[in-house]
Amino acid sequence: MDDLSTGSGVASFHDPSRDFHYLAYPSHILVWLCDRHGQCDFVSPSWPIFTGREIGHELGSGWLDRVHPEDLAVLTRALADAIEEKQPFRLLYRYLRADGVYRWFVNQGMVRTTHGEGFAGYVGQCFDVTAYQEGEAELEWSAQRMITLLKQTRLIALVADQEGRVLFSNGSLCRLLHQGGNELINARLFQRHLAPGSEALLNRLYPDGAQIAQFPSEFESALLTSQGETRHVMWHSISLHEYSGHAKSTILIGDDITASRREELRLKLSASVVEFTSHAVLITDVDLRIIAINRAFSELTGYSKEDALGRHPRILKSGRHDKEFYVQMWKSIAETGHWRGDVWDRRKDGGIYPKFLSISAIKDAAGEITHYAGIFYEVTERKAIEERLDLLAHYDTLTGLPNRCLLFDRLEQAVDRSTRNGTKIGLLYLDLDHFKQVNDTFGHSAGDSLLQAVAQRLKACVRTVDTVARLGGDEFVVLLPDIKTKNACARVAQKILDAMRPIYDLGGRSVTTMSSIGISIYPDDHGGAEALLRNADAAMYAAKQGQRGNFKFFSDTANAARIEP
């Protein structure tokens, strides 16, 4: 093989097909060669795998046709300068795949020479850096933080894919089921471990083998351990989404309530165990007057027997639950004889805390309710973990705004509400003009400060019922639910443009930036949540083609004519 030197940014060789055979196969490395005029004369087999096009379409100057229009002028000028000066180059631009998706490329070129002829062109490689340009890396970072959090908790925790296969489990789940982590990975947890008689729950969670779209936020299951023992777990779920907004996996946090269920049974069998159980217990008569409590009740709530007996359990109410919450609770007790779930309560000293509460109706031989029994325990640790996981899963870590996942959730709810009530939805899509120049000139910390300042200005322009979300990079979306006319969107869009114009002070540096805004309207522009976002994005790019610092409705663009009702 000929000499290949990269120390000076110069490569010397003869036969490209032979010299690059060893580089041609890794699919994540895109290798290319071009001649002294910048005409591409070789790409590795990894190119068609990545782009979805035949190799011939990338040769010559054909590859330039796939560069994003906003990047093309800068790229061709930089490439021409490098060829003229025969210098290495490093370029950042967006490149179009056959599926219509633009990906961010870093293209590094080294000078290519031949013996006795000098400069012969370039040899280089491209790397897909979209994750770092458009926010996918932020989702990955949040996911890593979530896994760290799940590893540290003593609660049962796992991450499952859309078919219920375990992608991650912590030590608590392993100990519960008496199985090693390797045995659980890729196993369908509920299909394998649900106790007999749980077929209805399995069909509810995974009809036809795939996870139901609206996965329950809370449910109870009975699991069989490897030793044949039944354990009762109360699960709390958090859905994770891909950058596109599609459901990806589900985090499940579980409380082992086996002991609580056994205490319920013992309570029904004998009142003598009440005083000695580790969980708080209260018993009321049919008129909801407290007639008995145990030591754990007093320790948790601060109320002694003298304080509690004869009083209504509402002395524990925190005020965090509305009337409908209690209506549904007592409806369940009336229909099924029990209710279980999380409740926020207030201690005697005024402190508010979360607890898991199980209420059972106690009946006499004639089937008449004579008493109600409640068993509960504090779940502060679990609630803290759930809140942290929810923050990582649904909010942008830099600005504190809702992320793409939470935006899609609220957008889908708004679409359902709009369909029922006959109202409209406005979606405003915007990014910052020349944001990359701020990063390149002042550094990424200045860019981050600018994004945080923009987030605050955007929030000041909307109602409390509206949503301002950051999709990643410098892209923001404003969701305006329950509007009557498109003029409401126009007023908000103009308000945002006016708010963006004043100078930003970034640590002593004065920066100005403008935005172009694309607007789509539901149901006027047809389609669901994804189409609404895609249409707003298209309208934004149409707005950029005219005078920047303006807004444009999707219905006023050429793309709108291609949308079928």
Residue 243 pLDDT: 54
Q: Are residues 114 and 144 in the same domain?
A: no
- What is the mean pLDDT of the segment spanning 56-63? 83
Q: Which domain-ending residue is among 128, 162, 183?
A: 128
Check pLDDT > 60 for residue 537.
yes
Per-position DSSP letters for 180-221, written without gaps between them: -HHHHTT-BHHHHHBPTT-HHHHHHHSGGGS--SS--SEEEE
Q: Report whether 257 contacts 155 (CB < 8 A).
A: no
How many other C-beta atoms lie within 10 A of the C-beta of residue 203?
Answer: 11
**Which DSSP category does 547 fall into?**
S
Alpha-carbon distance of 99 to 291, in angstroms, equals 69
What's the pLDDT band for 562 if we cut at 50, 70, 90? Answer: very low
Q: Which domain-ending residue is among 383, 406, 427?
A: 383
Q: Are residues 351 and 448 in the same domain?
A: no
List beta partners, residue 552.
518
Check pLDDT > 80 for residue 376.
yes
Query: Is 2 within the bounds of a domain?
Result: no
- Widest Cα–Cα separation across the chain: 106
Check pLDDT > 50 for residue 565.
no
Q: What is the pLDDT of residues 305-354, one digit of tens each?
A: 999 999 999 999 999 999 999 999 999 999 999 999 999 999 999 999 99
Check pLDDT > 50 for residue 16.
no
Query: Is 418 within the bounds of a domain?
Result: yes
Residue 108 pLDDT: 86
Query: Is 148 within the bounds of a domain?
Result: yes
Q: Are residues 472 and 498 in the same domain?
A: yes
Query: Is 3 within the bounds of a domain?
Result: no
Query: Is 1 within the bounds of a domain?
Result: no
Q: Are residues 436 and 332 in the same domain?
A: no
Question: Which residues touch 190 (CB under 8 Å, ≥6 apart)?
Answer: 164, 198, 201, 202, 205, 206, 221
Question: Which residues touch 404 (CB under 8 Å, ≥6 apart)?
Answer: 135, 241, 243, 245, 469, 471, 472
Specify the CATH number for the domain of residue 82. 3.30.450.20
Check pLDDT > 80 for residue 276.
no
Per-position DSSP letters for 447-498, written without gaps between them: HHHHHHHHHHHHHTTS-TTSEEEEEETTEEEEEEEEESSTHHHHHHHHHHHH
Query: Is 438 within the bounds of a domain?
Result: yes
Check pLDDT > 50 for residue 211.
yes
What's the pLDDT band for 563 if we cut at 50, 70, 90? Answer: very low
Burial grade of 374 (CB within 10 A; 0-12, 13-18, 19 or more)? buried
| Number of independent structural domains in the chain | 4
Residue 277 belongs to domain spanning: 260-383
| Mean pLDDT of all residues belonging to the chain | 84
Task: Kindly state the percentage of the chain with pLDDT values over 70.
Answer: 87
Residue 22 pLDDT: 36
Sheet with strand 369-378: strands edge to edge: 290-293, 280-285, 369-378, 352-363, 338-346
Residue 53 pLDDT: 83
Q: Are residues 366 and 423 in the same domain?
A: no
Q: Are residues 157 and 305 in the same domain?
A: no
- What is the mean pLDDT of the segment spanning 420-449? 89
What's the pLDDT band for 265 if we cut at 50, 70, 90? Answer: low
Residue 89 pLDDT: 84
Q: Looking at 124-133, 436-445, 465-474, which range is the least confident one?
A: 124-133
Q: Are residues 272 and 310 in the same domain?
A: yes
Q: What is the pLDDT of residues 106-156, one digit of tens each?
A: 888 888 887 666 788 888 888 877 655 555 555 556 666 777 777 778 889
Residue 137 pLDDT: 54
Q: Are residues 155 and 237 in the same domain?
A: yes
Q: Looking at 87-96, 362-371, 555-564, which range is the least confident one?
A: 555-564
Specify the CATH number for the domain of residue 547. 3.30.70.270
Residue 352 pLDDT: 95
Q: Are residues 419 and 517 in the same domain?
A: yes
Q: Are residues 377 and 405 in the same domain?
A: no
